[in-house]
Amino acid sequence: MLTLLKLLKDGRFHSGESLGAALGISRSAVWKQLQNLEAELNLPIHKVRGRGYQLASPLVFLNAEEIVLNTAPLSWAVQVFDSIDSTNAEALRLVSAGMEPPFIVLSEQQTAGRGRRGRKWVSPFAQNIYCSLVLRIEGGLRQLEGLSLVVGLAVMHALRESGVQGAALKWPNDVLVGQKKIAGILLELVGDPADICHVVLGIGINVNMQKAEDVDQEWTSVQLQTGVSINRNHLVAQLSRQLNSYLERHRVCGFSELQEEWELNHLWQGKAVSLIAGINHIDGVVLGVDRHGALRLDVDGVEKIYSGGELSLRLRDDS
């Protein structure tokens, strides 16, 4: 089925006869595969009598060689899959199998993509970036402090390079445009965080997605913001360069070196918010983050510090 899709990727019309000849199947078998493509991958295909079949818009597939070429002299290995459960899950399997980091896992589609707090990450085929970078971390907990916030800075700058000038940060793991989410980050660890461990930096970016019925919050994409279709290979290369730069600064100097820059790009700096921790809601005003990446809130005139993977931040109605 994906072989058929690759024949159609140029966005031009192809006759059923020519597609059948290229695949070595009948025209009726081509028709069945096209129906499956539309149903399983949610890709609209135009059918015009006398002209054939055409994708509603051309597709540029992820290409590991192109990404590596455009990120030289970085030596990160790149693996690209057509469809997997999640790039983070595959990255963890590769670590268990002995693959040496750093390396990147990408997929055209995720069947079980996940975000923070157990949320589903909607992952349509060949529209967005689903990416996991695996690093070996030595030197203990200091190398993990504020790491997700550092990744957020890299993602934000890659998006701005791609024309999304309004991209900004939301503590702890989101990149927004206005109040709409455009990217999210999910970090997972394996090993001893106090000694030597592997960290998987999972990044999801809405790139060319223009509609999605299953997303349970306001969202946008690079294409919706810029009005043009984006070559995802170029964006992955931009992201890799930004990640390399920010991760190196973090490795050498720690998060305190990047604390001020992060606060300057925090969309909700100074805003009235509710911090949700399970069934508890804490109302306060965002003061910023501390040198470890924890959230600083003014709660009834007292500065309080909050951190943890199960916390969620929401704007208050009166903000």
Positions marked active-site: 116, 181, 314
Rounded to whole angstroms, what are the CA distances from 116 to 46, 204, 315?
Answer: 37, 11, 18
87 is in an annotated binding site: yes
244 is in an annotated binding site: no
Please name every residue paired with 296 in a beta bridge, in sequence order, or none if there are none.
Answer: 288, 305
284 is in an annotated binding site: no
Please provide the distance, in angstroms rounded to a whole number, between the alpha carbons at the two ends of the chain: 50
211 is in an annotated binding site: no
241 is in an annotated binding site: no
Sheet of 103-107, strands arranged across: 77-81, 103-107, 129-138, 196-205, 180-191, 174-177, 167-170
249 is in an annotated binding site: no
Among 205, 209, 210, CA closest to 234: 205
304 is in an annotated binding site: no
- In whole angstroms, what is the distance from residue 60 CA to residue 66 CA? 12
Provide φ and ψ at 105, rounded to 5°.
-115, 130
- In whole angstroms, what is the distance from residue 213 CA to residue 267 CA? 26
What is the SS3 string spanning 195-229? Answer: CEEEEEEEEEECCCCCCCCCCCCCECCHHHHHCCC
Q: Tokens standing for 287?
A: 């003061």
47 is in an annotated binding site: no
Annotated binding site for biotin: 86-88, 110, 114-116, 181
